[in-house]
Amino acid sequence: MITKKNIYVIHGYNSSASRHWFPWLKQKLTSDNKISVKVLDMPSPTEPKLEEWIGKLSESIERLDQNTFFIAHSLGCIALLDYFETLKELPKIGGIIFVSGFNQKLVNIPEINDFIRTGFDYKKIINATTSRVVVTAINDEIVPTEFSKELADSLEAKIFQLSAGGHFLDTDGFSKFPKIYEIVTNMIADKQEQVGNGND
């Protein structure tokens, strides 16, 4: 019996579940009835408060196990890192994809700096995950690709530095994002192999 995979997608600042490539990705992934996708609408996205976003994650994530995967974009990456910090123990989870992720304050968006904490327990996340991926574009003018590289280094994550793409917003032309679909489906397939040749 194949256990259903649960994917949570977390958007960033000034965004919503219905923007960018999120609806497309959900539709693509849920065409496989063995995958469930929740694209979370985070509270007050134009004036985000970290405690509220952590609360939203806490109430929305039904379980954490090896069949649970996360895709976080931009400020959603910070929220996810902070959510993991609130857990005394982080169970083994399937994998995480950080898109335009970062782990430090952004000079160009000072209004969200109160949201951004630093000094995460990266070792806890590394120990709990087999698959960690960071995706960035070298022409991202919102989150410098160097910041995403630093996050990848901190998490000992595989990094995809795309030659173009900006911040992967709808205004950058990203109503679809085939690369993320490819990464997450490969991640799920690899995980399925690891759990035992169809005996899960």
Catalytic residue from among 74, 100, 131, 148 = 74
Q: Residue 170 and residue 55: Cα distance in Å, rounded?
A: 27
73 is catalytic: no
Task: Please report, in tens digits, the pLDDT of each residue of the chain (200 residues total).
Answer: 568 999 999 999 999 999 999 999 999 999 988 999 999 999 999 999 999 999 999 999 999 999 999 999 999 999 999 999 999 999 999 999 999 999 999 999 999 999 998 889 999 999 999 899 999 999 999 999 999 999 999 999 999 999 999 999 999 999 999 999 999 999 999 865 554 333 32
Domain boundaries, the chain: 5-194
Q: What are phi and psi of 38, to 5 degrees?
A: -120, 115
The domain made up of 5-194 is a member of CATH 3.40.50.1820: yes
CB 33 within 8 A of CB 65: no
Catalytic residue from among 15, 100, 131, 140 = 140
CB 65 within 8 A of CB 5: no
Catalytic residue from among 11, 20, 73, 167 = 167
Q: Residue 1 and residue 139: Cα distance in Å, rounded?
A: 44
Best CA proximity match to 177, nearest among 57, 68, 26, 13: 26
Q: What are phi and psi of 41, to 5 degrees?
A: -90, 110
pTM higher than 0.85: yes
Who contacts 42 (Cβ-Cβ below 8 Å, separation ≥6)?
10, 11, 15, 48, 52, 53, 56, 76, 79
74 is catalytic: yes
CB 38 within 8 A of CB 9: yes
140 is catalytic: yes
